[in-house]
Amino acid sequence: MLIEYQSQRVSLWYFRLALVLFILQVIMGLWLSINYAFTLPQDLVNVFPFSTAREIHTNVLVAWMLLGFMGGTYYILPPECGRDLYSPKIAYAQLVIFVAAAVTAVIGFLFGWTRGKPLLEIPFPLNGLIVVAALLFIANVAMTIIQSKQKSALQWMLLGGVTFLAVMYLFGMPFYKNLNTDYYYWWWVIHLWVEGAWEVVTASIVAYIIMRVTGVDRKVVEKWLYVETGLFLFTGIVGTGHHYYWIGAPDYWIWWGGIFSALEPLPIVLMVVDTWMHVRERRNPIVNPLTWYYIIGLAIYHLVGAGLWGFMHTLPPINYYTHGSQITVSHGHLAFFGAYALLNLTIFYFAMPRLKGINKYQDRLGKWGFWITTIGMFVLGLVFGIAGILQTYLERFLDIGYSTAHLTMMFWFRVAFGVGLVFLAGVVITVYHLFTIKPSSIPAPEPVVTPASNI
Amino acid sequence: MTGKTARLIFWVGTLTSAAIFLWQTYDFHMQTPRLTHTDKLTEQVVAGKKVWHKYNCNDCHTILGFGGYYAPDMTKAFYRLGENNIASIVQHPDVMYKNSFRKMPQLGVSETETRQLVSFLRWVGDIENRHWPPQDEKFVQAYRLRESQPEKLDKVHLVLQACGGCHTFENQGRNVGGDLTTIANRIPYDRQTLINYMINPQSVRPGVAMPPQDVSPQTAAIIADFILSLKSTKEVNK
Ligand code: HEM
Ligand code: HEM
Ligand SMILES: [Fe+2]
């Protein structure tokens, strides 16, 4: 048996649904790039406009990310707490509610049922369902931790992260009369998620996985965890100000937002360093190289997409020109993919073979998937970046008008479409590989320290 | 580093940042009335914001730089386009963008909703957001000048502000209704007819697609002189 507790099995359905949504999300992305690359007939635009496709692309993205986080939490919690989940039934009920809300939302979008608020378009009644699902999830996690005899910093960090995540969502729900107040709190959801709560969840899950596969001492891992999350929140909370430069907020945001957000890459650098150190000081042999590709790929890509690409446009004098352009899109893709898509895939590659009782898996196909998606997305990010530099230079710097600036984009989005097709192939390969994962015929090396010795 | 130091870093880091942030949030609410002119945030503006959400405009157009990047930013759209152009675009995107490489969907926005949207965009345009976006600042300046002293304004700016939503001049503006130089050489109208045409196109050429322009007779006169001067230059050149 590779999983220690039966209730860890609930996570499998979270992972499967997440992977299906991943494919749907990417197909919508391709459709968006077609909208840019070609002139579409007016009749088509009338029934299925860019706006509808965009809300599907982004909401499905958020949905599969959250499914991965929740599934991942359910997977690691029992061994971390030394007991089964408080209630697997709640876990399944919550999954059904969440997915029902997400699917209804996507169908509703097609018929124009939307709140029309970017990234948070889900209408109010469905948001109610999502809140119910979130409450069930947090209650289940909290009860499992409270009732367990083993206490660890990691448990509390994880609980804190998901609670923070859920609470922030509430700020996006009311109707705000004033547009600037609306966007002020919009960023409490978007920014404090990706540069706050989600980072805490990521750091905790990665800490757990690294501890498990390397056999590195728990004390060391948890120390890093505290320092990293502390720095993430220190820089990330006030760093929210890098979105308040041009919304009609007081002047000091230019300084506070600029300086704190410029420090945001620091904890990400620490994550790369500690991953690297733990790999070098591992006490157990590497069983599945592909899982390692993902762990290290995640650390590096996180630094590039979020740290480097984020830093490039976070200072006010630069952001004045790049704000709300294809440069933002470039960063959005590299950061979301590098930090959170790869985190989810790391979780899946860690957990899914074990859930099927496989210790060492065949990874030939999965390696293709890894290289095609990671390189594909990087090239896609560069293409968006070039389109963005052209756009900002022509439209905002030279000031030669919107049409001319955007006409150049047709070419770059044809390239993006081509690259996107390759990326989609990589995603399909990865998903297929995970769904059909098989044991390897090569014997696995014996572990030196058992996971239990870490607790 | 000991575990205790690590925990201390976590708590001190998190709590200081949260405390600063909450204080700033308080101050933000104190200053928002001044920075966004909440005294002008009428029911009509709020209704316009609801229309903006209802048709999901924000997933193609950015506003304050947020949202979809598919279509132009709407923060200063009121200054860039003016009320009439916004109304024509919203109600007849198929006509306005007939020759455009990107299309806007026909959303079925009603007459009332259009007025509400315009009020919303006019209010948004006044938010003190440090002159972002950079490319629209010239339209804001031109609008302000046109309002105060039309005579002194650089004529090209004035003309483009008023007509640039649908006409081009030397590659500036949006080509929906044709280039102004071409038009100048085609039209047979005298000065007064041209002025009437701008203010009420149907009175001169019934059935024409151009909407009435919200310009004062003085401004219309300046624009008419400008357009007629394009004609003579051409003839002299020949
Ligand atoms: C994994 C972490 C991150 C993710 C997933 C992420 C994602 C995103 C996304 C999706 C947007 C666009 C939001 C919108 O307007 O629709 C955005 C904007 C932005 N991000 Fe990040 N980001 C991350 C980390 C960072 C970091 C660490 C920095 C700074 C060092 C940063 C700097 C920025 C800036 C300055 C913008 C605003 C761009 C603009 O003005 O248009 N991001 N981010
Ligand atoms: C074939 C692959 C993909 C293509 C061609 C694609 C294309 C696009 C396009 C054209 C947009 C709209 C930008 C705009 O509003 O103008 C967009 C938005 C977005 N996509 Fe993708 N996408 C792809 C895959 C992905 C993946 C894998 C992720 C995340 C892991 C992702 C995350 C996002 C995000 C976060 C936004 C919103 C960006 C923002 O608000 O700044 N996309 N995508
Ligand atoms: Fe941010």
Angle (CA) A417-A421-A422 rounded to 5° is: 120
Residue B172 lies in a domain: yes
Same domain flag for B113 and B161 = no
Minimal-distance CA residue to ligand 1 atom 39: A323
Q: How confident is the model at residue B185 (pLDDT cuts 50, 70, 90)?
A: confident
C-alpha–C-alpha distance, residues B65 and A323, integer Å: 6
Ligand lying closest to the C-alpha of residue A335: 1
* Mean pLDDT of the B83-112 span: 92
* Mean pLDDT of the B27-53 span: 98
Same domain flag for B59 and B114 = yes
pLDDT of residue B151: 59
pLDDT of residue B234: 44
Q: Which mutation among A65, A313, A329, A419 tests ligand 2's pocket best, with the greatest number of atoms within 8 A of CB?
A: A329
Residue B127 lies in a domain: yes
How many alpha carbons fall within 13 Å on the CB side of residue B91? 16
* Mean pLDDT of the B119-132 span: 97
From ligand 1's centre to the CA of A313, what distance in Å? 9
Residue B1 lies in a domain: no
C-alpha–C-alpha distance, residues B72 and B93, integer Å: 14
Q: How confident is the model at residue A454 (pLDDT cuts 50, 70, 90)?
A: very low
pLDDT of residue B96: 86
Same domain flag for B50 and B117 = yes
CATH of the domain at B174: 1.10.760.10
Same domain flag for B48 and B114 = yes
Res. A1: pLDDT tops 60: no
Same domain flag for B118 and B154 = no
Residue B14 lies in a domain: no
Q: Do A179 and B124 touch (CB under 8 A)?
A: yes
Same domain flag for B116 and B154 = no
Residue ending a domain, choose from B101, B131, B161: B131
> What is the per-residue pLDDT across A262-281, written as a single tens digit (0 to 9) for each?
999 999 999 999 999 999 99
What are B111's two structure tokens?
Answer: 């007459």
Same domain flag for B82 and B153 = no
From ligand 1's centre to the CA of A121, what distance in Å? 19
From ligand 1's centre to the CA of A310, what distance in Å? 6
Type of residue numbered A168: M
DSSP conformation letters of A302-332: HIIIIIIHHHHTTSHHHHHHHTTSHHHHHHH
ipTM of the complex: 0.95
Q: Nearest-CA residue of chain A relative to B94?
A: A42
Long-range contacts of B183-188 (CB under 8 A, 24+ apart): B183/B227, B184/B227, B184/B228, B184/B230, B184/B231, B184/B234, B185/B230, B185/B231, B185/B234, B187/B227, B187/B231
DSSP conformation letters of B168-192: BBTTBS--SS-BHHHHHHH----HH
Contact (CB, 8 A) for A391 and A405: yes
Residue ending a domain, choose from B69, B96, B131: B131
Domains belonging to chain A, first-starting first, are: 1-151 (1.20.120)
Same domain flag for B119 and B160 = no
Closest partner residue to A230 (CB to CB) among B10, B94, B106 is B10
Contact (CB, 8 A) for A240 and A256: no
Contact (CB, 8 A) for B92 and B61: no
Q: Is B1 exposed, middle or buried (0-12, 13-18, 19+ CB in 10 A)?
A: exposed
Same domain flag for B169 and B225 = yes
Contact (CB, 8 A) for A111 and A103: no
Q: How large is the C-alpha radius of gyration of chain A?
A: 22
> Residue B53 belongs to what domain range?
38-131
Same domain flag for B53 and B111 = yes
What are A366's two structure tokens?
Answer: 């999965």
Ligand lying closest to the C-alpha of residue A339: 1
Residue B46 lies in a domain: yes
Same domain flag for B112 and B158 = no
Residue ending a domain, choose from B102, B131, B160: B131
Same domain flag for B176 and B221 = yes
Q: Which residue has the tokens 């709140």?
A: A115
pLDDT of residue B101: 92
Ligand 2 atom nearest to CA at A32: 10
Ligand 1 atom nearest to CA at A329: 12
Q: Which residue has the tokens 């939503």?
A: B165
Residue B224 lies in a domain: yes
Residue B142 lies in a domain: no
Closest partner residue to B72 (CB to CB) among A115, A227, A402 is A402
In chain A, the percentage of residues whose pLDDT exceeds 70 is 98
Provide the whole-model pTM.
0.91
Residue whose C-alpha is closest to residue B58's, from A103, A50, A187: A50
Number of domains within chain B? 2
Residue B32 lies in a domain: no
